[in-house]
Amino acid sequence: MTEIGALSYAIVGVLYATLSILLMTSWRGRHLGAYLIVACVLSALWGITLAMSTTNPAVPILAVYCVEVLRGGAWLTFLVMLVRKIGVSRNICYLAHAVWLGVLLAGLVFWFRWDLLSPDADIGRVAIPGGLAIALIGLILIEQLYRNSPPESRWGIKALAVGIGGLFAYDLFLYSQGLLFNAIDVNTWMARGAVNILFIPFIALAARRNPDWDLKIFVSRQVVFYSTSLMAVGLYLLLMSLGGYALVLYGGTWGGLARIVFFVGAGLVLIVLLFSGTLRARFKVFLSKHFFHNKYDYREEWLRLIAALSGFEGRSNREIVIKALAQIVDSPAGLLWVLEDKELSYQLVATYEASDAAPNIPIDDPLIKFLKADGWLIDLQEYAVDPEHYRNLRLPDWLVDYEEAWLIVPLIARQQLVGLIMLSEAPGPPKLNYEDRDLLKTVGNHIAVHLAQEKSDNQLAESRQFEAYNRLTAFLMHDLNNLIAQQSLIVKNAEKHKRNPEFVDDAISTIAGSVERMNRVMRQLKSGGSDNPAKPTDLKFVLSAAVDRCSANKPVPTLSLNGVDAKIAVDAEEFTAVLAHVIGNAQDACTQGGTVEVSLHESNGAATIMVADTGAGMSAEFIRNRLFRPFDSTKGSQGMGIGAYQAREFARKLGGELRVRSSPGEGTSVSITIPID
């Protein structure tokens, strides 16, 4: 037992010394890092001293006592610095320093003056309660540190709480047992070194997880891999030995035979595990993910990706997304396929420093099905060596013959395969590891979102174009409907008044106006909008033209300008047509004997055009829910249902507003208020 205890303490000293060297080579001058290094150095000295004292009685008891207290005091000091950083009460910090310094001073006084106190005095009388006090304060500090740490910081504190908290918890058990029985239990003391070995990795992991301590521990992946593998093999052999011993002990007459078969089987399993490439690869990934720095500086990679994608504006420069992905692995070229609307294949839509000789890929191609199902990145070099890794996927013949092809990266957004990018082989291509694959896949998903957004934007733009075209068509059809009504009125009255010169003149004038308006409609259809620029126009001129245009119908509208002489910048013909619609609606609402009054007013920098009739009127519910709804007409097949909507939109385009006041049976008043210069 003594040899095992000495060996375990020696291992503790060596491990702490190794950790101290790693910390010192990684230290960047932060105070927390310095305190941690000191604690590890004193712990290494503690382990070596206890290993020597276990086998050599000549080692002074005072030396053991001092390193015991200094080691505990160093860890308490480190914890004090941490709890002060998060604002824990200073009283606890002062108490921690007072405890370990008091224990150290009491031991020294006791050692040098023991003959004055009692001839048979033992320093253990100070060491046991002193060690118990240090362990208790250490656990209190650990509890305060974890409880008061912000939730986002506890991930880095957990390992420290397990590591330092574990060693203080064991010391509490050791010294409380010693206080109870007035002596330290030898077996518990000897097992202390082996127990402390278990806590050292957690302390190292805590230093790795807390960059604000400015300690960036790095150990070669190869060293960790092989040393960990060796430890795992040793543990495996130890367990097999225990199993063999149990078979001999409890196996009876068959114990020897069972032991031989057991060891041969265990050895065979060990050989299979050692030569398993898959197991080694997964073990390396596990070590890399949990114990080493990342290969990439993801902040820089993300900023570089954003900078590359900032020039992406649509179909005209889709090669930018290929470049953004290619720069991660230094690929010199690439191709992009995207699934367009209502297509049966992924279309080759962009190339970056590559020829466009590659074909489109049908949506039922095995390659597309594989990417949709698994979302894997395909390394074509790996595929050539081990196609089973990709479930014996059958690649298109053109892709197999494409000499520069290297990687196929799926672009997935919302569980949909938006597209894929093929990258060409980089000069001296690196062997991809899990980090390369994860980063390429993540960037590919980000690019897929950009492409999906581009697709949505294009669809929205097309919808708006159709909406604008349909709206223009509706307005023009409304104008044509009014022209047809005027021509129909001439035809209807022609037989009765065709020999009346005044009727003929009026008919010719009306036809001439209709021709001009139809020509204007045709120009609007060709240009997609109004062909007359807005220019200063007298409102009284527009109102007079609109009233004249509607004077052929009953009741004849009256006009009152009230001396207003105001101008606005407007397309006069379009404004006249809008006002004619409003006046025409007022005439249609009136019965025989009704009136339509058009008036112009000016106040507070705005002109108000009022069209009032004595017609049937409208309810508030109708005005609110139906009057301005396009294509909702009360005139049956004779109306388009957009006159009121068109008038309101035109008023808003001029910066004004259209308001309607009406009650059933009391007529309607429509006011159009427009700001004037």
For residue range 608-651, what is the model confidence (pLDDT) as tens digits?
Answer: 999 999 998 988 878 877 787 765 566 554 545 567 877 888 88
Q: Mean pLDDT across the chain, nearest whole number?
A: 78
> Taking 90 as the threshold, does the pLDDT of residue 452 lie above it?
no
Q: Supply the CATH number for residue 47's domain.
A: 1.20.1070
| Element (DSSP H or E) covering residue 600 | strand 596-603
Of the three residues 183, 218, 253, the one that is the final residue of a domain is 218
| 506 assigned to some structural domain | no
> Taking 70 as the threshold, does the pLDDT of residue 598 lie above it?
yes
Shared-domain flag, residues 35 and 74 = yes
Average pLDDT of the segment spanning 30-52: 86
Structure confidence at residue 325 (pLDDT)? 87
Output the CA angle 219-225-227, nearest 5 degrees. 85
Shared-domain flag, residues 113 and 245 = no
Average pLDDT of the segment spanning 493-521: 71
* Bigger pLDDT: 253 vs 375: 375
Q: Supply the CATH number for residue 443's domain.
A: 3.30.450.40
Shared-domain flag, residues 313 and 378 = yes
> Taking 90 as the threshold, does the pLDDT of residue 410 lie above it?
yes
| 509 assigned to some structural domain | no
pLDDT in tens, 212-245: 665 454 445 555 555 556 556 666 666 666 666 5
| 8 assigned to some structural domain | yes
| 260 assigned to some structural domain | yes
pLDDT in tens, 311-347: 666 555 678 888 888 888 888 899 999 987 666 789 8
Shared-domain flag, residues 351 and 270 = no
Shared-domain flag, residues 112 and 45 = yes
Q: Supply the CATH number for residue 577's domain.
A: 3.30.565.10
Shared-domain flag, residues 556 and 421 = no
**Strands of 558-560's sheet in order across:** 558-560, 596-603, 606-613, 668-675, 657-662
Name every residue whose Cβ is closer than 8 Å to that of residue 567 and which is 6 or more positions away in sequence: 536, 537, 538, 539, 676, 677
Structure confidence at residue 417 (pLDDT)? 92
Ranges 151-165, 229-243, 443-457: which has the least confidence = 229-243
Structure confidence at residue 671 (pLDDT)? 93
pLDDT in tens, 539-594: 888 999 889 888 878 899 999 998 888 888 888 888 888 898 889 889 888 988 89
Shared-domain flag, residues 43 and 104 = yes
Structure confidence at residue 661 (pLDDT)? 92
Closest CA to 300 of 337, 277, 263, 328: 328
Q: Residue 254: pLDDT band by 50, 70, 90 thresholds?
A: low
- pTM value is 0.40
- Cross-strand partners of 536: 569
> Taking 60 as the threshold, does the pLDDT of residue 116 lie above it?
no
| Element (DSSP H or E) covering residue 674 | strand 668-675
Structure confidence at residue 571 (pLDDT)? 84
| 226 assigned to some structural domain | no
Structure confidence at residue 162 (pLDDT)? 87
Of the three residues 387, 421, 455, the one that is the final residue of a domain is 455
| Element (DSSP H or E) covering residue 568 | strand 567-570
> Taking 70 as the threshold, does the pLDDT of residue 277 lie above it?
no
Structure confidence at residue 202 (pLDDT)? 86
User: To the nearest whole percent, how much of the chain has pLDDT over 90?
Assistant: 10
Shared-domain flag, residues 571 and 649 = yes
Torsion of CA 196, 201, 203, 206, to 10 degrees: -160
Structure confidence at residue 612 (pLDDT)? 94
Shared-domain flag, residues 273 and 138 = no
| 183 assigned to some structural domain | yes
What whole-number distance in Å separates Cα of residue 16 and Cα of residue 616? 99
Most confident residue range from 42-46, 307-311, 471-475? 42-46
Q: Residue 526: pLDDT band by 50, 70, 90 thresholds?
A: low
> Taking 60 as the threshold, does the pLDDT of residue 284 lie above it?
no
Ranges 34-48, 108-122, 590-604: which has the least confidence = 108-122
Would you say 378 and 408 are in contact if contact means Cβ atoms under 8 Å apart? yes
Average pLDDT of the segment spanning 122-146: 82
| 182 assigned to some structural domain | yes
Of the three residues 188, 218, 248, the one that is the final residue of a domain is 218
pLDDT in tens, 159-200: 888 888 888 888 888 888 888 778 888 888 888 888 888 888
What whole-number distance in Å separates Cα of residue 95 and Cα of residue 148? 18
Shared-domain flag, residues 247 and 303 = no
Its domain, for residue 273, covers: 232-291
Structure confidence at residue 382 (pLDDT)? 86
Structure confidence at residue 229 (pLDDT)? 60
How many CA atoms lie less than 13 Å away from 526 in the CB half-sphere? 7
Shared-domain flag, residues 153 and 279 = no
What whole-number distance in Å separates Cα of residue 495 and Cα of residue 15? 118
Count of domains in the chain?
Answer: 4
Q: Residue 90: pLDDT band by 50, 70, 90 thresholds?
A: confident
DSSP letter (8 states) at residue 585 = H
User: To the nearest whole percent, how much of the chain has pLDDT over 70?
Assistant: 72
Output the CA angle 642-644-648, nearest 5 degrees. 115
> Taking 70 as the threshold, does the pLDDT of residue 40 lie above it?
yes
Backbone φ, ψ for residue 593 (5° rounding): 95, -5
Ranges 2-6, 247-251, 390-394, 453-457: which has the least confidence = 247-251
Shared-domain flag, residues 366 and 447 = yes
